[in-house]
């Protein structure tokens, strides 16, 4: 009578051998049977890149001012016509409009560069339309004159330098132009009633879109 005996043999890598011993009439026959075990597949989950966070208009302005080496820059001018900003560099100024995710250079709206070096920009709603305008100051003293400034503002969504009416006529700049935050007044140097020069308040005519010295309307 035949008998069967199984002896396991060591294997690796998913393959194992079993020795089968068959005994018949005193003879022993050993047969090796190989069995294969499929390796278990392991996969890593796909890597998802972190979402890109878009900069706000203010964050992008701060970054741009630093990159451009601006010595001063405006606050945001926001209104129905859009969002705008102005940079003061060492020898000129630049004007930008916000377009969803980036600032677009629209400096052609500024016209020719001023002869004097720009010094600073002061942002405020000088034209009383609900959106900030930009008062740009220039170093006229270095050219033998006086420091002066101009108001860059939007009228019916078109940006430009606003006229200033004085006893000397109409100009787009005024000597000593500055904004007094404490009194919330725009002032410039002009002739006082006694004939001397001093600071005079500028008012704005909303209907005709110009500034005027109180004594010059």
Question: Based on the number of CB atoms within 10 Å of its own CB, is 172 exposed (0-12), middle (13-18) or buried (19 or more)?
Answer: middle
What pTM was estimated for this model as a whole?
A: 0.75
Looking at the fold, whether 66 and 31 belong to one and the same domain comes out as: no
The answer to whether residue 19 sits within a structural domain is: yes
47/130 Cα distance (integer angstroms):
48
Looking at the fold, whether 123 and 29 belong to one and the same domain comes out as: no
Helix (H, G, I), strand (E, B) or coil at 57: helix
Looking at the fold, whether 151 and 77 belong to one and the same domain comes out as: yes
Per-residue pLDDT of the chain (217 residues; tens, 9 = 90+): 444 444 444 554 554 454 444 444 554 555 445 555 566 556 666 677 666 778 999 999 999 999 999 999 999 999 999 999 999 999 999 999 999 899 999 999 999 989 899 999 999 999 999 999 999 999 999 999 999 999 999 999 999 999 999 888 999 999 999 999 999 999 999 877 777 888 999 999 999 999 999 864 4
Residue pair 98/107 in contact by the 8 Å Cβ criterion: no
- Tell me the residue range of the domain where 24 lies: 3-36
């Amino acid at each position: 009578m035949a008998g069967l005996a199984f002896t396991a043999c060591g294997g690796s890598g998913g393959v194992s051998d079993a020795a089968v011993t068959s005994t018949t009439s005193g003879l022993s026959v050993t047969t090796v049977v190989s069995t294969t075990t499929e390796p278990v597949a392991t996969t890593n989950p796909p890597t998802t890149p972190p979402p890109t966070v878009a900069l706000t208009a203010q964050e992008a302005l701060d970054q741009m001012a630093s990159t451009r080496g601006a010595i001063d820059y405006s606050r945001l001018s926001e209104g129905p016509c859009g969002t705008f900003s102005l940079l003061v560099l060492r020898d000129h100024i630049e004007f930008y409009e916000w377009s969803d995710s980036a600032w677009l250079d629209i400096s052609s709206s500024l016209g020719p560069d001023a002869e004097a070096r720009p010094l600073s920009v002061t942002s405020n709603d000088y034209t009383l339309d609900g959106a900030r305008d930009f008062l740009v100051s220039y170093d006229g003293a270095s050219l033998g004159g006086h420091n002066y400034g101009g108001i860059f503002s939007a009228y019916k969504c078109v940006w430009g330098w606003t006229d200033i009416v004085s006893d000397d006529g109409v100009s787009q700049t005024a000597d000593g132009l500055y904004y007094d935050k404490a009194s919330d007044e725009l002032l410039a140097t002009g002739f006082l009633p006694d004939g001397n020069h001093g600071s005079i308040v500028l008012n704005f005519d909303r209907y005709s879109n110009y500034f005027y010295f109180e004594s010059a309307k």
